[in-house]
Structures are given as structure tokens and as C-alpha cells.
Structure 1
Amino acid sequence: MVKPRLVFLAIAGPKNEQLYLEVFDSVEDSSLSKYQYLSELSLDVIQDLIHDSERTSNDCFLGLLGVEEDISTYAFCSNTNVKFILAVRSSDLVVRESEIRQLLRRIYTIHTHAVCNPFSLELTPDTLKHSLYFNETLRQLNSDWSNQ
């Protein structure tokens, strides 16, 4: 069985500021703006989900946010209100939410290890971009995901 390809990962801070955007697809300039738009749109959906009074689950995994063409976006919101938006290309493939949930939890774990590094001098929006551990582990995670 072929797995759906990862398209992009966006991480937003507690105030919905974009902290990180990694595009896994070969990207054109028009695609990059499309992915940025999808991540911004996803943040609006996440805000609605978080503030929904009828939501009974305290699970950090928010599930499927939406589908645009053949790109499905999923979200995970940490207890510190850091939002992880993962987009997968899912044309003609079945996407299992349990696999996406597990993948987002792994991304959250490597994010936590990168941000809570005691040897890091300061925490800035560029911390993740310059974190060798975060970028290499994320690249390996994408490779493992694609090759399974």
C-alpha cells in the first residue's frame, strides 16, 4: 500500500504567528503562496474548534480540518497553544487518521525537544529554522513516512 505524501508542515505560536513552514513537495512560487494560504485558513478553523463550546474532547489532535483539491490538512494543538498543521496529498489514497495522529505526536515531540534544548541560548521564531536536530529529524520522519 502506498502512503499519501506529506505536502507541508506549518507551526504557529499561541498568537497564531507563523513559527515554521516546511514544504516537502517540490514547490513553485505559486504553490508556496497556496500552502501559506492553506495554513492561515487552517488557523481560522483551529480557532473555531478550540473555542467551540460543544467540543467535549480534550485531545490535542483536532483531526481533519479540510480538503482543498487533493490536499488534506490535519491539526494538533498543544497544551501551550502551539498549533501544528500537517498537509498530505491524498488523491486516490486512503488516509488513516490514526497514522496522522501518531505522526503529529512525533512531530510535537521533536518540536518539544528542539525548543526545550538547555543549550539553546534564546527562543526566537527562527529557533526551529536553525535547529539542526529538528530539521534532520523532520527530514528523516518524512523519509520514513514516504518509504513505508
Structure 2
Amino acid sequence: MSDDNYLDRTNKELAQTLGEAIWAFSKVERATYRFMKKLSTDTLDVLMADQSIPVRIRVMKLLIARANGPEEIKELARQCVKRIDALAEVRNHIAHNPFQTWIDLDTREFIHEIEKVTDESKVISLSQLKQFSTDAEALAEALDNALSQLRYDR
């Protein structure tokens, strides 16, 4: 197959974009583990390693509540944690459903999307996938910034 074939180029772009999306969200998840380790006398990062993100979010909310630091930073951290939940749902859609390319015969365009297997009305386009990566990168940075300003005095 030649590199100048449209579907070949699209598949390469898709693979890159999917990898970037999963990588971006992994930065958010990594921050949750670092935070649990930093703000706990227990080894929560180890104990919570196989727990789902909603469970870790509940623990993080409790840790933020008891953390020492400026109230405005704690509020920023709480807002970041709320955003994790929304992004986690999209991440699951991306990770657990097949990407498909098809031709819309009415518009004569290739359509690239991830359609949820259990609900065909839920679709993520290639541009939404790229936006997810941007949002996850920004969230990881905001989360790190907020959490780095909180501490737990043992």
C-alpha cells in the first residue's frame, strides 16, 4: 500500500490520534496516583492501583478536603477532579469501541468516528478525539499545578 493512499494516511493519523488521546488521559490518571501517595500516610497509590477512576475520584475528594493549603487551591483541585469524571467517560468510549471509516454517500465524504457499540447515537469524531487530547493535557497540567500546592502533614 502506498503512503499517498487516502485511507492509509487516515489510518496513520487515526493511530497517532488514538495514541495521543490515551496518553493524554494517562497523565491525568498518573496525577491521581501521585496525589494519593503525597496526601496520605498509607500507600494509597498502591492500594488503589486496581480501582476504577470513580473510586479514586471519591478518595481524592476526601484527600483534598483534609489537605493543608489555600482554600482557593483546594477549590481548583476539586474542580479538576470533577473534570476527570467527565473525561473518563469519553476516554472509556474511545478505548472500548472500534473506530470506523465510512463514506457518506449524500455528502460524498469520508467519515471517521468512534461509535459506541451499545448506543449508536453516541459518536466521537476525529476532531472530537483531538479535542479530547487537548482537554486531557490541559487537565493534567491544571491538576498537577493545584495538587503540588497542597500537602498533608503527617
Output the TM-score relative to the length of structure 1.
0.31
Name whichever structure is richer in strand by fraction: 1
Q: Which has the higher contact order (CA 8 A, sep 6+)?
A: 2
Structure of greater Rg: 2
Name whichever structure is richer in helix by fraction: 2
